[in-house]
Amino acid sequence: MSEIEAPQSIRVKFGQHEALYEPPDFVSVELNGLLSDAEAVAVLQWLDGIRAQTGPLVVRYDVRGLERLPRITRDFPRQSNAANYYRAMAVVGASFTLRVALTLLLNAVRLLNRDQARFEFEFFSSTEVAREWLKKFETR
């Protein structure tokens, strides 16, 4: 990946998944089908590159097309900077099973990173409603 220079908008594809960065701190990630460990790592590294330049992000994950979480997500809570990725996170279209898994995962991030910034997260059925909710966390 090339280095990310804020404040330009950037659209990136990770296999069949797509991400969009809009300055100053909004990111939309659309996950479709199977998300491999390599793709999950690539998405997180891309987010970390943006976060390093902008600070914590306001992120909307659209998971309506996601079949399951990759195994590597188990390591996410132990990452030292995991809690600093986000100011707020909205998850759109998660099934009941995925909501449970994500809630456990995100609560583990909070517990294991108590000394780091906390972030808000919510589940939505609409990308538009999620976007409106996220606006209150943006730095515009």
The residue segments making up the domain with residue 106 are 10-135
Q: H or E stretch including 140?
A: none
Q: What is the pLDDT of residue 85?
A: 78
pLDDT at 12: 96
- State residue 70's pLDDT score: 83
Number of structural domains found in the chain? 1
In a domain, 3, yes or no: no
Q: What pLDDT, on the 0 to 100 scale, is given for residue 72?
A: 79
* 27 found inside a domain: yes
Whether 2 is in a domain gets the answer no
Q: What is the pLDDT of residue 1?
A: 47
**pLDDT score recorded for residue 30:** 97
132 touches 60 (CB < 8 A): no
Q: Is residue 58 part of a domain?
A: yes
Domain holding 101: CATH number?
3.30.750.24
Q: What is the pLDDT of residue 77?
A: 61
Q: In what order do the strands lie in the sheet with 57-68?
A: 10-14, 17-22, 26-34, 57-68, 86-92, 120-124
- In a domain? residue 140: no
Residue-level pLDDT at 123: 97
CA atoms within 13 A on the CB side of 51: 18
- Predicted pLDDT at 2: 47
Q: Comparing C-alpha atoms, which of 99, 90, 9, 84 is closest to residue 44?
A: 84
In angstroms, the CA 49 to CA 30 distance is 18
Within-domain flag for 1 = no
Whole-number Å distance between alpha carbons of 72 and 37: 6
Asked whether residue 5 is domain-assigned, the answer is no
Given a contact cutoff of 8 angstroms between Cβ atoms, the answer to whether 73 and 106 are in contact is: no
Residue numbers in the chain where pLDDT is lower than 50: 1-2, 4
Q: Looking at the domain assignment, is residue 71 inside a domain?
A: yes
